[in-house]
């Protein structure tokens, strides 16, 4: 690429779209790795790789077996795996995270390869609080810092703590929710980066520095160094950040934010996504560059990874890492090995209202998309669903020669439309499109659910307002996941196709 082409080039923000919040980034040589929160989904903690900080490819999930991750049915949605920190030290990768559930707590995992396998957990009973961070000082002492912001010495090999936990710094005066701490040695100072203001519209990033990792810390005079609170920018809720150096030695920040659409108050439906912004150092403090949906490309050559496949024909014995399930995925309920070239699901919960529903999906990553699947309901009942949680989901399901669209929003559950279909396989579809603005009450998008006829035409059975599958309505910390489910008996899926209609 010529100098002029590189100067004119841009990249889209977010760099990891869809429900990928709380990014933690780690550089090892010429390679970059990012992990994100996964909450009630299994496998947990998606792991991404990049060579340029812009293009990211998922290479696995760190917590991919029950010995690492237990998410019981009585655990509420938007609990589970919160805010991992990924670091590389002494030739190994270290991952520390909180499992927010009864009997959970903080856990530490290690790996020689971030693609896995990762170790079974080392429990950290002396580390209390969420959003744990790891940092090593010059004499090898490991410091663990948590939301609050509290710090304690930790032996990462045994999980034992030593000394008394002490308070470091809690951000700006009266700022709520000081969390997401990350501690770094940069130049002559130790820097403590935190999020504050809550993960909603008041979210922000602040920083302090000290001569030693345990303080005392001096706050930056220009805190918060990143926030979009009180603005009408298309990217909102900016916070929960991590710092990293680019290939040329420049500094960058990865952080979460959302893209709200529609009228007032604005609804974000994809969840909190991972964004990238440049950083300059001025008088020993980081200054964050402009954050926009279309960013000037960095100075180094961009290295796109392999394009993610939108279609899965279920020809492999193991599912790719993009597929996630609700709380667990026992092999007896989900397999590609029973019918060659098909995904077979066996029902457990009776509907998506149930916390133990057998569901396998992928994150919605585009504001507009079309999703289709060919289902053979066989002796069962199942279909295609757009899920936010047990109380907020839309689905089109088929059984016994009938297909119907069901909508659940809070306490309301209703059949929106239905029709008969021939017994046997049928293609179900969902189309998601942004809603043209009309007034302040206009929702963010519209979901159209229906059946694809043998001649390729699409018969609509229901059209639903997307605001009810948004965080502003449902609450919580996740985003939409689109996939297949079984609600009765056994159902089979020949293929699943996810087609982006906008970037």
Which range (4-13, 24-33, 384-393) has the least confidence?
4-13
Q: What are phi and psi of 466, to 5 degrees?
A: -75, -15
Provide the 8-state DSSP code for 15.
S
CB-based burial label for 141 (10 Å; 0-12, 13-18, 19+):
middle
Which pLDDT tens digit goes with each residue over 389-447? Answer: 999 999 999 998 999 999 999 999 999 999 999 999 999 999 999 999 999 999 999 99
- Helix, strand, coil % in the chain, rounded to nearest 5: 5, 50, 50
Under CATH, which number does the domain 10-296 receive? 2.115.10.20
Quick one: pLDDT band at residue 8, thresholds 50, 70, 90?
Answer: low
Q: Which residues belong to CATH 2.60.120.200 in the chain?
A: 311-500
> Is the bond preceding 493 in cis, omega lying within 30 degrees of 0?
no
Mean pLDDT score of the chain: 96
Which pLDDT tens digit goes with each residue over 111-165? Answer: 999 999 999 999 999 999 999 999 999 999 999 999 999 999 999 999 999 999 9
Which pLDDT tens digit goes with each residue over 219-276? Answer: 999 999 999 999 999 999 999 999 999 999 999 999 999 999 999 999 999 999 999 9
Active site amino acids: 22, 179
Mean pLDDT for the stretch of residues 449-478? 97
Rounded to the nearest 5 degrees, what angle is found at the Cα of 447, between the Cα atoms of 441 and 451? Answer: 155
Which pLDDT tens digit goes with each residue over 15-68? Answer: 999 999 999 999 999 999 999 999 999 999 999 999 999 999 999 999 999 999
Chain-centre distance of CA 116, in angstroms? 19
Q: Which residues belong to CATH 2.115.10.20 in the chain?
A: 10-296
As its CATH architecture, domain 311-500 has Sandwich (2.60)
Quick one: pLDDT band at residue 378, thresholds 50, 70, 90?
Answer: confident
């Amino acid at each position: 690429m010529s100098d002029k082409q590189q100067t004119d080039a841009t990249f889209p923000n977010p760099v990891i779209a869809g429900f990928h919040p709380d990014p933690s980034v780690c550089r090892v040589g010429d390679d970059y790795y990012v992990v994100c929160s996964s909450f009630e989904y299994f496998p947990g903690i998606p792991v991404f790789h990049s060579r340029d900080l812009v293009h990211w490819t998922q290479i696995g999930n760190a917590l991919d077996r029950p010995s690492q991750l237990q998410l019981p049915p009585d655990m509420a949605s938007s609990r589970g795996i919160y805010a991992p920190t990924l670091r590389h030290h002494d030739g190994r990768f270290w991952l520390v995270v909180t499992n927010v559930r009864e009997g959970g707590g903080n856990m530490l995992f290690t790996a020689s390869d971030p693609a896995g396998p990762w170790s079974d957990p080392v429990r950290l009973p002396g580390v209390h609080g969420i959003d744990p961070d790891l940092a090593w000082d010059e004499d090898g002492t490991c410091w663990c810092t948590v939301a609050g912001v509290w710090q304690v010495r930790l032996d990462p090999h045994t999980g034992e703590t030593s000394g008394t936990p002490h308070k470091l710094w809690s951000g700006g005066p009266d700022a709520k929710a000081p969390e997401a701490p990350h501690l770094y040695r940069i130049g002559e100072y130790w820097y403590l980066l935190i999020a504050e203001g809550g993960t909603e519209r008041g979210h922000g990033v602040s920083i302090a520095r000290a001569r030693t990792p345990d303080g005392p810390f001096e706050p930056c005079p220009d805190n918060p160094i990143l926030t979009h609170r009180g603005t009408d920018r298309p990217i909102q809720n900016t916070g929960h950040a991590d710092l990293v150096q680019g290939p040329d030695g420049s500094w960058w920040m990865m952080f979460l934010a959302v893209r709200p659409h529609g009228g007032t108050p604005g609804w974000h439906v994809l969840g909190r996504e991972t964004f990238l912004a440049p950083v300059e150092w001025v008088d020993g403090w980081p200054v964050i560059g402009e954050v926009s949906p279309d960013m000037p490309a960095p100075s180094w050559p961009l290295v796109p990874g392999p394009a993610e496949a939108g279609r899965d024909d279920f020809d492999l014995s193991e599912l790719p890492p993009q597929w996630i399930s609700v709380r667990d995925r026992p092999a007896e309920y989900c397999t590609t090995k029973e019918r060659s070239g098909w995904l077979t699901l066996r029902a457990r919960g009776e509907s998506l209202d149930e916390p133990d529903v057998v569901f396998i999906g992928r994150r919605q990553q585009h504001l507009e998309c079309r999703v289709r699947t060919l289902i053979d309901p066989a002796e069962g009942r199942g279909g295609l669903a757009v899920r936010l949680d047990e109380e907020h989901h839309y689905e089109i399901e088929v059984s016994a020669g009938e297909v119907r669209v069901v909508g659940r929003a809070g306490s309301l559950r209703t059949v929106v439309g239905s029709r008969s279909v021939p017994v046997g396989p049928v293609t179900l579809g969902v189309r998601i499109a942004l809603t043209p603005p009309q007034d302040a009450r206009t929702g963010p998008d519209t979901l159209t659910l229906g059946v694809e006829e043998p001649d390729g035409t699409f018969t609509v059975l229901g059209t639903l307002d997307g605001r009810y599958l948004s965080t502003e309505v449902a609450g919580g910390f996740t985003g939409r996941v689109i996939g297949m489910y079984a609600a009765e008996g056994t159902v089979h899926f020949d293929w699943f196709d996810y087609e982006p209609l906008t970037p």
